Structure 1
Amino acid sequence: MEELEFENSPSKEIDEETLFIVTQTFKALGDPTRVRILHLLFQKECSVNEIADTLDIRQSTVSHQLRFLKNLRLVKYRRAGTTLYYSHDDEHVMLILKQMIDHACHS
């Protein structure tokens, strides 16, 4: 098996900010609703209404989860008139999510 190399030397401690970001990102990926939203946004850009309709989730729940994901910079948005369109904002996290989905489907 190939040995993993981290950007920072393995002998160094992880600084507090990095540790916080890593744990919050895993927390984000530990929630089924957020995983469903990220999976959808990996496929296409969507408005809150489109996310709510596609995933059959209340708009208030979608907005709450998007705010959490946006604060972690996992999603971004663009405004078109009065509508906000969301998309994923971190290829690294999306790769992790894809690998975990592939891993779960591999049986």
Structure 2
Amino acid sequence: MPDDEQVHLAAEGFRMLADPTRIKILWALLQGESSVACLAELVGASPTAVSQHLAKLRLAGLVRGRREGTFVHYSATDVHVRALLAEALFHADHTDRDLPDHASGDLTAHVPAGGAAGS
């Protein structure tokens, strides 16, 4: 059984993923570092809204910022964020397309309808 702190942190991470804009922001950041302005354009939200989402994602430990002069470049924190988001999207794809479970438990062959997990 995980300890209470692990459970709390995991629940907080899932809570942060419970927003479509934050999922899009994380997906974009998994493709590489990005600024608020670029992310706003990619996800179709205002820079102010994206900044607020990034602040929450940063507090949850899902993204980090790297300051360069007056700009901050954001990226996903680590490979765990990629795996977490990929699994959530794979699950959504299975639900959306009513696909059967993976009989062997092998998830390596799965590619969601919208593209590869790493693309």
Q: Shorter-chain TM-score: what band?
A: 0.7 to 0.9
What are the equivalent positions in structure 2 for 1:1-107 lying under 5 Å apart?
A: 12=1, 14-106=2-94, 107=97
Corresponding residue of 1:4 = none
Q: Which moved more, 1:94-103 or 1:65-74?
A: 94-103
Cα RMSD after superposing both structures: 1.3
3-state SS of paired residue (2:58)? helix
The answer to whether the 8 A contact 1:46-1:85 is kept is: yes
Question: Post-superposition, which runs of at least 4 consecutive aligned residues in structure 1 deviate over 6 A?
Answer: none
| Aligned residue pairs, count | 95
List runs of 5+ in structure 2 lacking aligned partners: 98-119
Q: In percent, how many aligned pairs have the same letter?
A: 37
Taking structure 1 as the reference length, the TM-score comes to: 0.80
List runs of 5+ in structure 1 lacking aligned partners: 1-11
3-state SS of paired residue (1:105)? helix
Larger helix fraction of residues: 1
Taking structure 2 as the reference length, the TM-score comes to: 0.73
Q: Distance in 2 between matches of 1:18 and 1:103?
A: 23
